[in-house]
Amino acid sequence: MSEMNLQEAVVTTRLDAVVNWGRKNSLWPLPFGTACCAIEFMSVMASKYDMSRFGAEAMRFSPRQSDMMLVLGTVTNKMAPVLRTIYAQMAEPKWVISVGVCASSGGMYRTYATLQGIDRIIPVDVYVPGCPPRPESMLYGVMKLQEKIEKEGLGMRKDHIRRFYESLERQKELEARTGLTGQQAIREMLLDAAATGAPTIF
Ligand code: SF4
């Protein structure tokens, strides 16, 4: 038997590098589709663009089986509590891509009924600009998210998610104490945050 060459037989690495490699190549998308961007997203999953090339083809409509939410379309204030609940139910660690100008900033809907950016109520990792963004742009957004995951420390996301859950508890407590609906409670929290100069409620 030939002498074992340790350099060929052994690979050394860091735990976070291996874990992040697995995470970034096995993202499970959850489409939160509310408008036209969701139609554009259908082509991203189809054969021409084919998101499975990036290991992210296992699309699920259950938040418990997903870790990458794509918000695709206009989000109204009425939908804000639903979006927060679905985000809360997703498996951890979890990531969010805001697709299109509507999700990212309210877009052309500068109205009292439209949430002026989902990042006010849930953490967002990547923004894809456009109206609608081309399928290539969405794929580029997924690639940017993969780059981000690759560089993350394993504990980094915990703090981030803890702050979100704390804000969800504050929302539930406000609803229970005042009888407000989820939509009204979020609005109150947004107004309070704006008064202190904070851009988000978490
Ligand atoms: S960004 Fe444009 S394409 Fe996307 S949901 Fe808004 S209006 Fe529709």
Q: What pLDDT was estimated at residue 165?
A: 97
C-alpha to C-alpha distance for 1 and 143, rounded to whole angstroms: 45
pLDDT tens readout for residues 42-73: 999 999 999 999 999 999 999 999 999 999 99
Residue nearest to atom 8 of ligand 1 (CA): 36
Residues flanking ligand 1, CB < 6 Å: 35-37, 73-74, 100-102, 107, 131-132
In this structure, is residue 92 part of a structural domain? yes
pLDDT tens readout for residues 88-139: 999 999 999 999 999 999 999 999 999 999 999 999 999 999 999 999 999 9
CA of 41 to the centre of ligand 1 (A): 11
Q: Are 66 and 30 in contact (CB under 8 A)?
A: yes
Flag whether pLDDT at 26 surpasses 80: yes
In this structure, is residue 77 part of a structural domain? yes
Which atom of ligand 1 has the smallest separation from the CA of 36?
A: 8
In this structure, is residue 129 part of a structural domain? yes
Residue nearest to atom 4 of ligand 1 (CA): 37
In this prediction the pTM is 0.94
CA of 175 to the centre of ligand 1 (A): 31
Task: Grade residue 7 by pLDDT with cuts at 50, 70 and 90.
Answer: confident
Residue nearest to atom 7 of ligand 1 (CA): 131
In this structure, is residue 168 part of a structural domain? no
SS3 of residue 115 by DSSP: coil
Flag whether pLDDT at 1 surpasses 70: no
Flag whether pLDDT at 9 surpasses 60: yes
CA of 95 to the centre of ligand 1 (A): 21
Task: Grade residue 199 by pLDDT with cuts at 50, 70 and 90.
Answer: very high
C-alpha to C-alpha distance for 126 and 167, rounded to whole angstroms: 21
C-alpha to C-alpha distance for 6 and 152, rounded to whole angstroms: 30
In this structure, is residue 48 part of a structural domain? yes
CATH of the domain at 19: 3.40.50.12280
What's the distance, CA 89 to chain centroid? 12
In this structure, is residue 179 part of a structural domain? no
Residue nearest to atom 6 of ligand 1 (CA): 102
Domain total for the chain?
Answer: 1
C-alpha to C-alpha distance for 174 and 169, rounded to whole angstroms: 8
- State mean pLDDT over 155-167: 88
Flag whether pLDDT at 3 surpasses 70: no
In this structure, is residue 125 part of a structural domain? yes
Flag whether pLDDT at 4 surpasses 80: no
In this structure, is residue 50 part of a structural domain? yes
Q: Which residues lie across from 71 on neighbouring strands?
A: 32, 98
Flag whether pLDDT at 173 surpasses 80: yes
Enclosing domain of residue 75: 12-153
DSSP H helices, 46-92, are 80-89
> DSSP character for 64?
G
